[in-house]
């Protein structure tokens, strides 16, 4: 095995260990503490808060602060991602939440009012994902995506993802008498994907998920109607979800050669 191949194998092992068994004991204890500290936004890996009282605590006690290169990572997680640029294939669950009718909303509201509404959605969704032990994959446009990996969400990551989907819809007013304050559709899928650090020519490093699994989850969220959680057969099976009374659909998703079977969840209790 030559030097490059040996290093690639070492990097893959490091990521596989992180994603399937989690951080070392000290980091895991810290992560559990971080989730209860105020101060959004947070590091997308360890959930260390960057602002407010929580940000001051983690900076003073753990030496964590927002990375100068990637505002979504703390300096310590950024260091890991830079040192071990690469990743590993793992089984995980993914949650994508999309705003419905965002173009119409933007047309009807002032730019400032629209930005406040979308920011409220981001904060609400990411708060739920942090407290359900997800890694925040993307916050972009009118969509939020989270990765539920075994090392952080545990072996029941599919169940965690479905629970988070319910909580996001509840927190945004779906199912409330007055209706939602922002209309969402959610997709949940379980599958195998590449998770790791990717770099840019500017020297920044980000954590992302690649492969068919995230594409499928994104298509499901795009196909969901307002207030619906579309759960793939793979996620249903992994979560052991009781499908009694649930609608079942066969969807033709863009980029998929075969129809995808999903279950439609609209009960958030």
pLDDT digits (tens, 9 = 90+) for 7-20: 899 999 989 988 99
Residues 144-194 have pLDDT tens digits of: 999 999 988 889 999 999 999 999 999 999 999 999 999 999 999 999 999
Query: In the predicted model, what is the mean pLDDT of residues 19-36?
Result: 78
Residue 50: phi, psi to the nearest 5?
-105, -20
Least confident of 99-103, 106-110, 250-254: 250-254
- Lowest model confidence (mean pLDDT) among 12-26, 54-68, 138-152: 12-26
Please say if the pLDDT value at position 124 is more than 90: yes
Q: Residue 207's pLDDT is what?
A: 81
Interstrand relation of 184-199 and 143-148 (parallel, antiparallel or unpaired): unpaired
Q: For position 74, what pLDDT does the model report?
A: 87
Question: Do 254 and 219 contact (CB within 8 A), yes or no?
Answer: yes
The domain made up of 87-265 is a member of CATH 3.40.50.2000: no
Distance of CA 12 to the CA centre of its chain: 21
Q: Which residue has the higher pLDDT, 27 or 60?
A: 60
Residue 88, pLDDT above cutoff 90: yes
Average of per-residue pLDDT values in the chain: 89
**Burial group, residue 62, by CB count within 10 angstroms (0-12, 13-18, 19+):** middle
Q: What average pLDDT score do residues 79-83 get?
A: 84
Rounded average pLDDT over 49-72: 85
Residue extents of the structural domains in the chain: 3-83, 87-265
Structure tokens at 61: 């006690």
Compute the half-sphere exposure of residue 125: CA atoms within 13 Å on the CB side of its CA: 31
Q: What is the pLDDT averaged over residues 203-209?
A: 76
Rounded average pLDDT over 67-73: 72
Q: pLDDT for 212-259, tens place per residue?
A: 999 999 999 999 999 999 999 999 999 999 999 999 999 988 877 789
pLDDT band at residue 100 under the 50/70/90 scheme = very high
Residue 70 has pLDDT above 70, yes or no: no
């Amino acid at each position: 095995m030559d030097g490059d191949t040996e290093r690639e194998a070492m990097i893959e092992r490091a990521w596989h260990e992180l994603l399937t068994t989690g951080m070392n004991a000290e980091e895991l204890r810290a992560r559990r503490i971080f989730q209860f500290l105020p101060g959004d936004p947070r590091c997308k890996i360890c959930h260390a808060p960057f602002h407010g009282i929580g940000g001051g605590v983690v900076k003073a006690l753990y030496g964590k602060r927002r990375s100068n290169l990637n505002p979504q990572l703390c300096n310590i997680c950024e260091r890991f991602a830079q040192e071990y640029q690469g990743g590993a294939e793992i089984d995980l669950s993914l949650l994508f939440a999309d705003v419905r009718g965002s173009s119409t909303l933007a047309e009807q509201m002032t730019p400032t009012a629209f930005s406040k509404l979308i920011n409220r959605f981001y904060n609400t969704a990411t708060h739920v994902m942090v407290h359900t032990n997800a890694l925040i994959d993307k916050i972009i446009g009118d969509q939020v995506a989270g990765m539920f990996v075994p090392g952080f969400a545990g072996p029941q990551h599919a169940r965690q993802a479905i629970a988070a989907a319910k909580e996001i819809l509840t927190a945004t007013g779906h199912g409330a008498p007055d209706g939602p304050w922002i209309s969402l559709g959610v997709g949940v899928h379980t599958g195998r994907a590449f998770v790791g650090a990717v770099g840019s020519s500017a020297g920044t490093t980000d954590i992302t998920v690649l492969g068919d699994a995230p594409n499928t989850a994104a298509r499901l969220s795009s196909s969901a109607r307002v207030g619906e959680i579309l759960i793939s057969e793979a996620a249903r099976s992994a979560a052991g979800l009781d499908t009694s009374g649930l609608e079942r659909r066969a969807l033709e998703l863009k980029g998929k050669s075969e129809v995808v079977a999903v279950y439609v969840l609209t009960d958030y209790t």
